[in-house]
């Protein structure tokens, strides 16, 4: 996504007019009386390219969330700042109502750990790919897998529990501002319930084994019990800090129960209770993030898309879809160790794994394919023939996602090693090739 310059115009009319082509965005007020604007802001949201109305666009005003109708029209309380965003489009802010044109946005992202994003060599390579290929977005660790925070924070709990031992960004807001100056769509990855420092400090809120002792996963890490609502504030406060820093999107990862049987939670260990806990967490997080007008996404297991049950982790596509803007299934073929119907060797069916799984997910959630943005594999296979995932494998996955109609895609490599293999050149590079 490139930086957008906005031009403003006003006209007191309830009808649409032809706008000068030189203007990149136009606002005019709808209504016949100036007095109306003291209490209500009314407007319409249109696709910038086609000028067609955008239904179900999200409007935030005075701490609440509203939606446009089928004609793209909204009526909200007057506010100093009205947040506007829509699935598959940009997000922006306006002072008043009016006619608002939104650009389409399809983030095509690379994952960077906080270490990678703070190292010049790795970050510069990512920026080079953004300048020269179709990549236009970065997913950056903020709350990490081991519970550490990547940025300097004044958060009392974070400092108390020792989550500031690996600070990579002294000034997170400036870091994000610098990325956005280069037209980069920014996504903050927040690892939710996998948090060793927090559980060590507050063991009563940790996942327990059947004997009442604290549970550790295969990496010897502790987990917060997702049903312990008292623990939610800490996680969401980090998401709020990320939104305040200017990230376009908050991505919740490990927003689930551990995938192990025989564990004890503060609620009964049933599908109903597990799904309810995850949904209520996402609902609460969405409400807390309303003032920032950020997109909200959640990472989910790939096999969740194929099942009606929650697989013991509290994730169900049909249940979660209502609380996030984007669902991001992890569609790494190496992770589909049992294959999918008709394809028992996933690494030989990269297109089918991604495309068929997304279609299965959409069958369950309903809505638009644009509400999905999958994670794709950009690392060596670990489960089958140990093949390197190069240009062909990556391109097959991208093609599968785009044929489905998703709102972009994201490449995962834990080591942050990326090349241009499998990626299309940017239009700028094609027009101005390196000599």
Question: Percent of the chain, pLDDT > 90?
Answer: 86
Determine the topology of domain 108-431 in CATH: TIM Barrel (3.20.20)
**pLDDT tens figures, 289-304:** 999 999 999 999 999 9
SS3 348: helix
Rounded distance between C-alpha atoms, residue 326 and residue 407, angstroms: 8
**Residue 426 — pLDDT band, cuts 50, 70, 90?**
confident
**Per-residue confidence (pLDDT) for residue 11, from 0 to 100:** 26
Of 87-96, 348-357, 380-389, the one with minimum mean pLDDT is 87-96
Q: Is the pLDDT of residue 86 over 80?
A: yes
More confident residue, 84 or 36: 84
- Look up tokens 């000599």; give the residue: 435
Instruction: Compute the mean pLDDT over every residue in the chain, rounded to the nearest whole number.
Output: 90
Q: Break the chain into its structural domains and give their ranges.
A: 1-105, 108-431
More confident residue, 341 or 428: 341
CATH superfamily of 1-105: Carboxypeptidase-like, regulatory domain (2.60.40.1120)
Angle at 192 between CA 189 and CA 195, to 5 degrees: 115
Run of H or E including 232: helix 232-244
Q: Residues 291-321, buried b or exposed e (16+ Cβ, 10 A)?
A: bbbbbbbbbbbbbbbbeeebbbbbbbbebbb
Longest dimension (CA), the chain: 71
Average pLDDT over residues 86-97: 90
What's the pTM value of the predicted model, to 2 decimals? 0.90
List of residues 6+ apart from 184 with CB closer than 8 A: 1, 127, 130, 136, 137, 138
pLDDT at 242 over 90: yes
């Amino acid at each position: 996504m490139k930086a957008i310059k906005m031009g403003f115009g006003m006209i007191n009319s309830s009808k649409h007019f032809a706008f000068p082509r030189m203007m990149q965005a136009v606002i005019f007020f709808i209504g016949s009386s100036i007095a109306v604007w003291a209490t209500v802001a009314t407007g319409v949201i249109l696709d910038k390219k086609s000028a067609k109305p955008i239904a179900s666009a999200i409007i935030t005003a005075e701490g609440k969330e509203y939606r446009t109708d089928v004609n793209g029209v909204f009526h909200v309380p007057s506010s100093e700042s009205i947040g506007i965003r829509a699935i598959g489009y940009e997000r922006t802010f306006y002072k008043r109502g009016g006619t608002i044109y939104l650009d389409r946005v399809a983030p095509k992202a690379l994952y960077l750990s906080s270490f990678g994003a703070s190292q010049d060599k790795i970050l510069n390579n990512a920026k080079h790919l953004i300048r020269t290929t179709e990549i236009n977005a970065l997913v950056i660790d903020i709350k990490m897998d081991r519970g550490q925070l990547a940025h300097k924070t004044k958060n009392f709990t974070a400092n108390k529990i020792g989550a500031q031992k690996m600070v990579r960004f002294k000034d997170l807001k400036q870091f994000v501002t610098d990325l956005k100056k280069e037209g980069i769509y920014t996504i903050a990855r927040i690892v939710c319930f996998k948090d060793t420092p927090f559980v060590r400090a507050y063991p009563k809120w940790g996942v327990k084994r059947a004997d009442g002792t604290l549970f550790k996963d295969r990496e010897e890490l502790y987990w917060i019990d997702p049903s312990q609502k008292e623990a939610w504030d800490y996680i969401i406060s980090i998401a709020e800090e990320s939104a305040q820093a200017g990230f376009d999107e908050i991505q919740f990862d490990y927003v689930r129960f551990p995938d192990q049987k025989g564990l004890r939670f503060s609620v009964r260990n049933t599908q109903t209770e597990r799904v309810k806990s995850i949904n209520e967490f996402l609902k609460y997080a969405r409400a807390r993030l309303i003032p920032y007008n950020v997109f909200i996404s959640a990472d989910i297991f790939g096999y969740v898309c194929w099942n009606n049950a929650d697989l013991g982790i509290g994730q169900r596509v049909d249940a979660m879809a209502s609380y996030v803007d984007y669902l991001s299934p992890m569609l790494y073929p190496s992770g589909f160790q049992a294959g999918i119907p008709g394809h028992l060797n996933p690494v030989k069916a990269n297109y089918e794994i991604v495309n068929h799984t997304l279609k299965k997910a959409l069958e369950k959630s309903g809505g638009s394919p644009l509400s999905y943005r999958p994670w794709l594999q950009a690392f060596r296979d670990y489960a089958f023939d140990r093949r390197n995932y190069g240009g062909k494998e990556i391109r097959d996955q991208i093609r599968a996602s785009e044929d489905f109609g998703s709102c972009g895609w994201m490449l995962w490599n834990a080591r942050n090693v990326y090349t241009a293999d499998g990626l299309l050149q940017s239009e700028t590079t094609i027009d101005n090739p390196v000599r």
